[in-house]
């Protein structure tokens, strides 16, 4: 079974050359952080991922989460791993120094998060949710609540969750029924939430649930949702955990993958009402939750990158070891990496992994700038978020599937470990809003709302790279031609859709996923082109590494960028082709 090894050279390249890490470190509040400090963090993170988390991945998959009379029980070794995670200070990495955090840039914490997820996705989900909960409380909670909860959450002593989904309300938060009744200085919460990741476990002293609920006089729909802190254990005046709150995990879900991540059904108020504390103002809960949701979407995009990298490493290791058949024109059997079709699949996995990483690290760079007051970067981040999340997670489905294919029949056998990447990755296109929801968000909120201004701004960045390529067309002919064509297809499809969408109510739903995939494919090609241009200037310093960057970018141009034309054609198709059948015709 292959043990995950963090691809540090690739990560550093993406951070420094494509996400402008040096410029991020020069922002005033990051001035104490330099490239050497970041390298040290990455080195230690790589050790933790390969030595602690990776060996637990298969154990957690096979053992899973169990239940006893007191609730969820995590898989063997996970509590000890989490204790080491706290002792290493990893929970503090991206958090505000005011509350005990390290204050590292998000582009750095994204790279570390990739390591956690690639080595053990089930484990990584808990810390990811805690970071999102911390972000929401920092921005929206009262000073009193921050003082009571944030230090313990930032330190990792307490974990955080987000409680949105209910049995009758999947992605439709307007249908949320959980109630919150005022009771002195707190509220009493009653209701049931489902699919709550890390909703219950015994790895920490407390679990802080952020719960969406309705107060008695709340307006109907999403305008009537409020957010509440509901701790598993009540906190006394000294900040210590006391008796258990009226909240229980009634069951854990039996899932296709991420077996070691405790996904819980949470019941609030079976004995009269769980004590909850209002975050911010009543009826503003959806706004507050989106702070957590958007942070989580970026993390899930990183999970897509991680699943690609993990599956690629696993397949590459197998291809270098498995002897079967003689390559065409030869007599002796060799390892399968010598076969052309295996090489095609490995190159496909490698190219798409690097492109997905580049898109997500680039988005993290915009987050760093946006949080420090750069309004243009904030708008850019809003545009990139649905693409980074959805495109990378869709890519992960393809890449993990190729990993199984490279293993052949052995890939379909659980003992080889290839299938786990497919099973684990399947949830990430659904997490934090499905690909369809991300597509609707991209067109409806991120493009139409500002008249396409941000879209055109990002297109201008791509166009600048195309012009740079055209000055070197003899060196990168395939990349130059394909990116030029793909950009033109993206521009024309964007004009076509935005020109028709106001007159066709069904168009956005019919075209949004193909349009989002078009955006991701072109942006991936753009960043692969930028990587090739950088590599051309540095090839002499490390011919193997930078030479591989150029070849991989050219492979992306030849094998993946042509998809832009198909996505553009599909996105422009008449919505009646999607909506034309009557229900009974299906």
Q: Please give the positions annotated as active site.
A: 432
Burial class (CB in 10 A: 0-12, 13-18, 19+), 383: buried
CB 199 within 8 A of CB 264: yes
Burial class (CB in 10 A: 0-12, 13-18, 19+), 110: buried
Q: How confident is the model at residue 172, as a pLDDT?
A: 78
Beta strands in 54-205 (DSSP E): 66-68, 71-73, 158-163, 179-183, 186-197
Q: How confident is the model at residue 171, as a pLDDT?
A: 73
Strand-pair partners of 166? 169
Per-domain residue ranges of the chain = 288-577
**Using CA atoms, how far apart are residues 207 and 266, in angstroms rounded to an integer?**
12
The label of the residue with tokens 């602690």 reads 52
Q: How confident is the model at residue 327, as a pLDDT?
A: 87
- CB-based burial, 448-471: b 16+ in 10 Å, e otherwise: beeeeebbeebbeebbebbeebee
Which residues of the chain have a pLDDT value below 50? none
The architecture in CATH of the region 288-577 reads: Up-down Bundle (1.20)
Q: How confident is the model at residue 313, as a pLDDT?
A: 98
The label of the residue with tokens 């200085």 reads 185
The label of the residue with tokens 């952080």 reads 33
Q: How confident is the model at residue 291, as a pLDDT?
A: 83
Q: How confident is the model at residue 473, as a pLDDT?
A: 66
Q: How confident is the model at residue 292, as a pLDDT?
A: 81
**519-533 confidence digits (pLDDT tens):** 999 999 999 999 999
**461-493 confidence digits (pLDDT tens):** 999 999 999 997 678 999 999 999 999 999 999
pTM of the model: 0.96
The label of the residue with tokens 């067309």 reads 473
Q: How confident is the model at residue 277, as a pLDDT?
A: 98
Q: Which of 248, 267, 271, 153 is nearest to 200 (CA)?
A: 248
**In this structure, what are the phi and psi dihedrals at residue 39, rounded to the nearest 5 degrees?**
-60, -40
Neighbours of 415 (CB within 10 A): 9
């Amino acid at each position: 079974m292959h043990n995950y090894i963090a691809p540090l050279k690739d990560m550093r390249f993406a951070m420094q050359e494509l996400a402008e890490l040096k410029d991020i470190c020069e922002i005033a509040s990051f001035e104490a952080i330099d490239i050497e400090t970041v390298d040290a963090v990455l080195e230690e993170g790589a050790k933790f991922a390969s030595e602690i988390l990776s060996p637990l991945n298969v154990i957690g998959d096979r053992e899973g989460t169990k239940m006893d009379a007191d609730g969820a029980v995590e898989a063997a070794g996970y509590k000890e791993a989490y204790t080491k995670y706290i002792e290493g200070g990893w929970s503090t990495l991206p958090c505000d120094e005011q509350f005990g955090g390290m204050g590292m840039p998000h582009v750095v914490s994204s790279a570390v998060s990739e390591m956690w997820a690639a080595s053990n996705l089930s484990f990584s989900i808990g810390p990811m949710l805690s970071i999102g909960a911390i972000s929401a409380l920092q921005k929206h909670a009262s000073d009193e609540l921050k003082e009571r909860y944030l230090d313990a959450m930032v330190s990792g002593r307490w974990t955080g969750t987000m409680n949105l989904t209910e049995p009758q309300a999947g992605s439709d938060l307007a249908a949320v029924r959980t109630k919150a009744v005022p009771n002195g200085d707190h509220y009493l919460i009653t209701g049931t939430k489902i699919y709550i990741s890390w909703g219950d476990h015994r790895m920490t002293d407390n679990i802080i649930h952020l719960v969406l609920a309705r107060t008695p006089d709340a307006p109907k729909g999403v305008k009537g949702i409020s957010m509440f802190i509901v701790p598993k254990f009540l906190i006394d005046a000294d900040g210590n955990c006391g008796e258990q709150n009226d909240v229980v995990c009634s069951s854990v879900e039996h899932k296709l993958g991420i077996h070691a991540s405790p996904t819980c059904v949470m019941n609030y108020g079976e004995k009269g009402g769980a004590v909850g504390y209002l975050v911010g103002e009543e009826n503003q809960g959806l706004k507050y939750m989106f702070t957590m949701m958007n942070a989580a979407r970026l993390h899930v995009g990183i999970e897509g990158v991680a699943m690609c990298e993990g599956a690629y490493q696993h397949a590459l290791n197998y291809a270098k070891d498995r002897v079967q058949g003689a390559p065409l024109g030869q007599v002796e059997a060799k390892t399968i990496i010598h076969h052309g079709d295996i090489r095609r699949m490995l190159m496909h996995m490698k190219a798409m992994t690097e492109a997905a990483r580049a898109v997500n690290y680039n988005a993290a760079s915009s987050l760093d700038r946006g949080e420090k007051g750069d309004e243009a970067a904030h708008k850019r981040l809003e545009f990139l978020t649905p693409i980074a999340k959805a495109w990378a997670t869709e890519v992960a489905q393809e890449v993990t599937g190729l990993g199984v294919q490279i293993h052949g029949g052995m890939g379909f056998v659980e003992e080889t470990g290839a299938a786990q990447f497919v099973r684990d990755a399947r949830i990430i296109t659904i997490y934090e809003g499905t690909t369809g929801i991300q597509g609707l968000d991209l067109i409806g909120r991120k493009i139409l709302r500002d008249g396409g201004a941000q879209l055109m701004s990002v297109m201008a960045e791509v166009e600048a790279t195309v012009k740079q390529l055209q000055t070197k067309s003899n060196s990168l002919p395939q990349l130059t031609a394909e990116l030029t064509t793909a950009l033109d297809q993206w521009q024309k499809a964007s004009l076509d859709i935005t020109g028709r969408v106001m007159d066709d109510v069904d168009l956005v739903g019919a075209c949004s996923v193909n349009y989002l995939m078009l955006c991701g494919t072109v942006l991936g090609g753009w960043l692969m082109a930028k990587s090739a241009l950088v590599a051309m200037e540095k090839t002499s310093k490390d011919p193997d590494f930078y030479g591989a960057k150029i070849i991989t970018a050219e492979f992306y141009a030849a094998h993946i960028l042509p998809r832009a034309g198909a996505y553009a054609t599909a996105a422009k198709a008449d919505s009646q082709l999607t909506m034309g059948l009557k229900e009974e015709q299906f």
